[in-house]
């Protein structure tokens, strides 16, 4: 049996914030590492994903997510990649296997074996690439709106984990003009130069509708909506006849400081929806189980240098709470991952 370290660190919710979280709401604590109990796998986490909408669970709202609500004293959760240290017989896992699971935010995790999925180490060139959210973006663009070559695509929050992949995948699938939104001019410039967007509109500046009209003078065919709110309204105005909208997220409400993040109200003029025959579809990649198609395609594109995996690596669990606040503030581009 492998000798286990005496202790490991994890990030817990200390108190519930009333608005958006701050550093004072988290604590990094040390706990003993214990061998797995019945039906459990002990995993040494290597990486975990930091995503902004964790704030909804911190705020105490359930929504329709696979995660539990977090109470003070609970360890935070999120997608993680790790290496099996100990596994019971008969679960198809062995020490040394690379696995994915949902118990991030800790250095060692005791994961129910049914919630631990083995990763084929040869599928993607870098293990951290298994934490990208390209599957959601790919499924939405291929199953949700069936992107067509030449389409003009608008991706709101085009620098987020999912948004950055959506922009790159849209291009790869033959989109014509690809436009993003971002939270600052500086970020907009980076999205143009680093991710290759043709134009980027900036939220919080002059009318988003005017900016989008300039960015897409002939209108948009596809709207990949991570945000809702005024960006959804601007997209309706900019839509071409027959435009297809795929609604992925509602960050304008989910990250609103004055709510728990479970509503994202927006006033829409329904007449253009009718006149332009706009198709609008709420979408969840959880409804599809053919993720292998994406992983194979992504691996092929990565190896051929046809796509990148935009991400930021932050070293050390002690930096994870600060990193979550930065993700909520939109300071990073791509998927944000803590490396342990």
Ligand X SMILES: NC(=O)c1ccc[n+]([C@@H]2O[C@H](COP(=O)([O-])OP(=O)(O)OC[C@H]3O[C@@H](n4cnc5c(N)ncnc54)[C@H](OP(=O)(O)O)[C@@H]3O)[C@@H](O)[C@H]2O)c1
Residues that bind ligand X in the complex, under the rule CB under 6 A = 51-53, 133, 136, 157, 159-163, 182-183, 187, 203, 226-227, 248-252, 254-255, 283-285, 327, 330
Residues 6 or more apart from 284 whose CB is under 8 A from it? none
CA-wise closest residue to 37 among 115, 112, 116, 117: 112
How is the chain split among helix, strand and coil, in percent rounded to 5? 30, 25, 45
| Cα 261 from Cα 31, distance rounded (Å) | 31
- What token pair was written down for 55? 């704030």
Pairing of strands 98-101, 117-118: antiparallel
CB of 104 to ligand X, least distance (A): 13
CB of 103 to ligand X, least distance (A): 18
CA-wise closest residue to 116 among 97, 129, 134: 97
Positive or negative torsion for Cα 105, 111, 112, 113: positive
Q: Which is nearer to ligand X, 109 or 137 (CB)?
A: 137
Q: Which is nearer to ligand X, 8 or 181 (CB)?
A: 181
Give me the residue whose beta carbon is nearest to ligand X.
249
Q: Which is nearer to ligand X, 108 or 294 (CB)?
A: 294
CA-wise closest residue to 196 among 179, 208, 214: 179
* 276 strand-pairing partners: none
Q: Which is nearer to ligand X, 104 or 183 (CB)?
A: 183
CB of 228 to ligand X, least distance (A): 8
Q: Which is nearer to ligand X, 37 or 282 (CB)?
A: 282
CB of 237 to ligand X, least distance (A): 18
CB of 221 to ligand X, least distance (A): 20
Residues 6 or more apart from 317 whose CB is under 8 A from it? 9, 10, 11, 28, 105, 106, 107, 338, 340
Q: Which is nearer to ligand X, 171 or 203 (CB)?
A: 203
**Tell me, what DSSP letter sits at residue 65?**
-
CB of 97 to ligand X, least distance (A): 25
Q: Which is nearer to ligand X, 205 or 306 (CB)?
A: 205
CB of 90 to ligand X, least distance (A): 32
Pairing of strands 108-112, 40-50: antiparallel
| Cα 200 from Cα 185, distance rounded (Å) | 9
Q: Which is nearer to ligand X, 60 or 88 (CB)?
A: 60
Q: Which is nearer to ligand X, 129 or 157 (CB)?
A: 157
CB of 189 to ligand X, least distance (A): 12
Q: Are 196 and 171 in contact (CB under 8 A)?
A: yes
Pairing of strands 153-155, 220-225: parallel
CB of 99 to ligand X, least distance (A): 20
């Amino acid at each position: 049996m492998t000798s286990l370290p005496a202790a490991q660190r994890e990030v817990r919710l200390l108190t519930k914030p009333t608005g958006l979280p701050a550093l004072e709401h988290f604590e990094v604590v040390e706990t003993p590492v214990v061998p797995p109990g019945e039906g459990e796998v002990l995993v040494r986490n290597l990486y975990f994903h930091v995503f902004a909408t964790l704030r909804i669970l911190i705020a105490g709202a359930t929504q329709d997510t696979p995660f539990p609500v977090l109470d003070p004293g609970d360890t935070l959760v999120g997608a993680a990649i790790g290496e099996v240290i100990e596994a019971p017989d008969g679960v198809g896992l062995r020490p040394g296997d690379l696995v994915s699971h949902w118990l991030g935010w800790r250095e060692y995790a005791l994961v129910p074996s049914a919630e631990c999925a083995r990763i084929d180490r040869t599928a993607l060139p870098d293990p951290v690439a298994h934490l990208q959210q390209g599957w959601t973006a790919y499924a939405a663009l291929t199953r949700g709106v069936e992107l067509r070559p030449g389409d003009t695509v608008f991706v709101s929050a085009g620098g987020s984990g999912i948004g950055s992949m959506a922009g790159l995948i849209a291009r790869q699938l033959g989109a014509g003009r690809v436009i993003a939104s971002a939270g600052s001019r500086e970020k907009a410039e980076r999205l143009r130069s680093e991710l290759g967007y043709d134009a980027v509109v900036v939220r919080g500046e002059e009318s988003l509708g005017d900016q989008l009209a300039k960015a897409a003078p002939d209108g948009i065919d596809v709207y990949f909506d991570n945000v809702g709110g005024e960006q959804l309204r601007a997209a309706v105005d900019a839509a071409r006849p027959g435009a297809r909208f795929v609604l992925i997220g509602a960050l304008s409400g989910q990250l609103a400081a004055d709510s728990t993040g479970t509503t994202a109200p927006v006033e829409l003029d329904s007449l253009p929806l009718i006149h332009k025959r706009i198709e609008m579809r709420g979408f969840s990649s959880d409804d599809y189980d053919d993720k292998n198609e994406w992983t194979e395609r992504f691996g092929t594109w990565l190896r051929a240098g046809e796509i990148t995996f935009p991400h930021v690596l932050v070293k050390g669990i002690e930096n994870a709470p600060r990193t979550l606040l930065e993700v909520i503030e939109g300071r990073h581009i791509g998927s944000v991952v803590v490396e342990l």
